[in-house]
Amino acid sequence: MSSLRELLSHYRANAPTEREKGNYFERLAVAFIKNDPGMAQQFEDCWLFSEWAVMQGLDGRDTGIDAVAKIRGEDSFCAIQCKFYGESHRIQKSDIDSFFTASGKRHFSLRLIHPGLACSRAALLL
Burial 75-103 (b: 16+ CB within 10 A, else e): eebbbbbbbbeeeeeeeeeeebeebeebb
Report the domain count for the chain: 1
CATH number for 10: 3.40.1350
pLDDT tens for 70-91 read: 999 999 999 998 877 666 667 7
The range of the structural domain enclosing residue 42 comes to 3-125
Residue 23 pLDDT greater than 80, yes or no: yes
Q: Any bridge partners for residue 43, and if so which?
A: 71
pTM, two decimal places: 0.80
